[in-house]
Amino acid sequence: MTKLYCDTSNLKEIDYCIKKYNVDGVTTNPSLIYKSGRDFKEVIKEIARIVSGPISAEVTSLDKNEMIDQGLELSKIANNIVIKVPLTEHGLIACKNLSKKSIKVNVTLCFSSSQALIAAKMGATYISPFIGRLDDISNEGLNLIEEIITIYSNYPDRLSTEVLVASIRSPLQVAQVAQMGADVATIPPKIIKQMIKHPLTDIGLNSFMEDWKKTGQTF
C-alpha cells in the first residue's frame, strides 16, 4: 500500500494531515458532512482548493438516474473529484455510466468479495470494503480484504479496480491491510496521529535525553 487518505470533511483536519503526514487524498460521506454542519457542495469545493489528490464525494440519492446527474455535477467541481456510489444495483448502474464518461467512481459499503467482483466488472475505480463494521458484527474484516485482493490479483489484465480499505479502527489495521497489499487505506485523522505513537519510542527517547543531560554537554 502506497497511499493513505484522510477520512474526514473537516478542513482544518485535512490541511493538518496534508502538511504533517503527507496524505494522498480525502474521502467524505454524508455522515461526515452532517457532522460538519455545512453545505455539502461548498465543503467539497473548499477541500478541492487544498487537496491535489483524489477526493471522494458521495451521491445522496438511491435512484440511478439521480446518482448519475449528481455525479456529473460533482465531477465539475474539480478534476480530482471521485464519485462515491453505494453498492446497490442502482449504484452499480450509475458506476458503469459514469465510468464510461471517464469519471472515476468509488463504490462504497462493500461487505463481501462477490460485491467487490461485480463492482470491478462495472468499472469501479475503487472498491471500499468496510472492515470495522464487519468486526462489529463478529465477522473478520481482514479476511474480506484478503479475498478481494486475491480475486483482483487473479485477473490483472481484466480487473483494474483499486482496493480502498475503509472503516479502519486502529493503526494495527492500517499495517495489516498494507501487508496484504491493499492499494489505499482511508483513515480518520485521530488514527493517522496514533500511527506515529509507541510507548517504547517515548521510553527510549526519555532515556536518551536523561543520559545527554548527565554528560553536562551543550550542543
List, by residue number, the catalytic residues.
84
Residue reference for cell 473478520:
140
User: Integer distance in angstroms from the first to the last C-alpha of the chain?
Assistant: 39
Residue reference for cell 485535512:
14
Instruction: Determine contact, residues 136/167, Cβ cutoff 8 Å.
Output: no
According to DSSP, the β-strands at 3-7 and 81-86 are unpaired
Give strand ranges (E) for 28-91: 55-58, 81-86
Close Cβ partners of 59 (under 8 Å, ≥ 6 residues apart): 66, 67, 70, 71, 74, 83, 84, 85, 86, 94
Q: State how far the Cα of 120 lies from the Cα of 92, in Å rounded to an integer.
A: 10
**Closest Cα partner for 75 from 50, 94, 90?**
94
Reported as half-sphere exposure (CB side, CA atoms, 13 A), residue 84 has a value of 20
Instruction: Determine contact, residues 127/161, Cβ cutoff 8 Å.
Output: yes
